[in-house]
Amino acid sequence: MPIFTPGRRWQPPYNAFKREKFGPRLLASVEKAVKGPLFGCRMCGNCLLQETAFICSMECPKGVRNGPCGGSTSEHCYVDETRPCMWYRIYDRAFKMGRQELLLEVLPPIDWDKAGTETWGDVARQVKKVGVKNVTTGLLARDPVTRASTWDSVFRPVRQPEWWEGDAEYHAPKYTEPASKLEERLKTGDFVVTAEVAPPMTVSTNKLNSNIDMVKPYVAAINFTDNPSASSRMSSWACSTLAIQRGADAVMQIAARDRTRIGLQSEVLGSNALGVRNILCLSGDSMRLAPSPRGRMDVVDVDAVQMLWILRRMRDEGKYLDGRAIKFPPKFFLGAAAAPFASEPRFQALREHKKVNAGAQFFQTNLVYDPDGMDAWLNELAKRNILDKVYILIGITPLKSFKIAQYMNDEVPGVFVPEALLKRMKAAEEAGNAQEEGVQISLEIIERIKARHGQGVHGIHIMAVGWEEIVPRIVREAGLLPKDFVAPAEPEKVAAKV
């Protein structure tokens, strides 16, 4: 186990993809010999140790470089329970050291051309560029601001290449008219409802189209998942396109797990050309949850925060990640996931703050069964002064059985089901009316969430998990029918042939 990184090395160090000259190879060998035992260094060539409380973020099984996933806990990593969650440890140490605000800086993805090579040479060249005398004088100055500025003049250009230019600042959208119907509804101040429709596992779209038509009148937009549990289904962009063709506003979910930086930009341009105006950026469930044979599990090419940063710049600055100009930039409303009950509220608030800075304009949260417990998270967001910069839709899933309630509480990262609700579902199961009890619990939770409208909450997101037919009833009985609601026509009954 490395001395300063509290977990065993997840994977071996990278090797360079090309043969370097003797000098850089020797320096890389020395760097690996020093940083390996100390930090579990994987020689990514893009060292971020100073920003991550001197715990290597590459020890995370997902390889995410901008904060924890929604499954972060103090106990263990949800991908590998034999290991601690590295990002929980990073946040914990950073807060103890008073360095937590450094974690807000949006850090770049790995430049794979540099993987396996040294970083110390980059630092030395930057010191030479700034001036050895200037650096020495600045670091020895009594003024802490001068010391910090000098330090940053050396290390910031190393960790923030010109093609990325990440920072820790909020970047407001550079457009005024709503990009989508969902954004328009949220801007009016309505308590908004969105819902999820599961993509089919075949090429048949009959059930998908039926569910879209059934749910559409009751919600502002329909989400389509992107291979949840790392299991293949019809793509989110295809389902979103079909929904748009049927008159619905779609939210295309896009998981970092399955994307490269090239594929991400290409897919977003194509889906935008097809009418998709809402995008929800997710890390995605680990490939560890997938059925065998499994794909790569050690690192994602871009994480959710990096996706937000790339897509915001494509839209607002009209340029690709590689710097090329986009003559006709895409237009979309960017969202991200939030997890009120994963980890500690202050840690999650910092994570959400970073997503807002990167480009998130709305959050759809993980499942909430304890609205009162959610208040601690909302209070932490308020302390960070970001509640006026993002719309928050609270995740709701009606429980169909006691077994599902138990599974949600015990197995789904970032979800907490209070003991009182578990007891209610168990009693209802024994009485033979578990589904009805689950619906009533959802309605009670929604009522409590509605009371928080205007206090950081802007609506709900119903994740029916294959129970789409319950969505209309929940919306009606919760008193959340849209202002422009038109009751759907009853399906025509075909007379039986005599």
What does the DSSP 8-state code read for residue 181? Answer: H
Q: In which region does residue 94 sit, left (phi positive, over 0), alpha (psi from -120 to 50) or beta (all else)?
A: alpha
Report d(CA 70, CA 337) in Å as an integer.
8
b/e map 292-324, b = 16+ CB within 10 Å:
eeeeebebbbbbbbbbbbbbbbbbeeeebbeee
Report d(CA 62, CA 256) in Å as an integer.
10
Q: Which pLDDT does position 286 carry in this prediction? A: 79
What does the DSSP 8-state code read for residue 384? Answer: T
Q: Which pLDDT does position 2 carry in this prediction? A: 64
Which residues have C-beta within 8 Å of that of residue 187, sequence separation ≥ 6? Answer: 178
Q: Which pLDDT does position 498 carry in this prediction? A: 38
Cis peptide before 291 (omega within 30 of 0): no
Q: Which pLDDT does position 230 carry in this prediction? A: 84
Q: Which pLDDT does position 493 carry in this prediction? A: 47
H helices of 296-401, in order, are 304-316, 345-358, 371-383
Q: Which pLDDT does position 93 carry in this prediction? A: 92
| pTM exceeds 0.85 for this model | yes
Using 50 as the pLDDT threshold, list the residues of the chain that sit under it: 493-498
The residue type of 81 is E
Q: Which pLDDT does position 496 carry in this prediction? A: 42
- In this structure, whether the domain defined by 181-477 belongs to CATH 3.20.20.220 is answered with yes
Q: With contact defined as beta carbons under 8 Å apart, do 367 and 397 qualify?
A: yes
Q: Which pLDDT does position 373 carry in this prediction? A: 93
Q: Which pLDDT does position 426 carry in this prediction? A: 95
Per the DSSP assignment, residues forming a β-bridge with 461 are 194, 395
Query: Which segments of the chain belong to CATH 3.20.20.220?
Result: 181-477
Q: Which pLDDT does position 192 carry in this prediction? A: 97
